Amino acid sequence: MFEDWCRSMHPGARRYWDEFSEIVLVCPDLENPDGLLVGESKWKRLTSREHDRVLNDLKDRRGRCQLAARHPNVRFNVSDASMLDHI
């Protein structure tokens, strides 16, 4: 449910999967018209170390999937439960 809520914050966001990877959030990057926003969400508050590990895993998964060849301009985003503090 948290993943659905995170996708609802980004126009056009959807889940992506292929034979190599699954990515929770993929959508056009509103900050870069030629880019793509690729994201992961975790329903807990991540420590800095956990955030870095999730981010690196997301980058690895994106690099193995077909999105990498089609969309070279990517911005990565990791959302966790701490973002609920800001609503």
pLDDT digits (tens, 9 = 90+) for 14-51: 999 988 889 999 999 999 989 999 999 999 999 999 99
Helix residue spans in 1-87 (DSSP H) = 2-8, 48-64, 67-70
- The per-residue pLDDT for 83 is 84
Cα–Cα distance between 50 and 28 in angstroms, integer?
A: 26
Instruction: Give me the residues paired with residue 41 across strands.
Output: 79
Query: pLDDT category, 67, cuts 50, 70, 90?
Result: confident
Can you say whether the dihedral through the CA atoms of 70, 73, 78, 79 is positive or negative? negative
pTM above 0.75, yes or no: yes
Give the confidence band of 84 by pLDDT, cuts at 50, 70, 90. confident
Spacing of C-alpha 84 from chain mean position: 17
Q: What's the CA angle centered on 15, arms 73 and 69, to 5 degrees?
A: 30
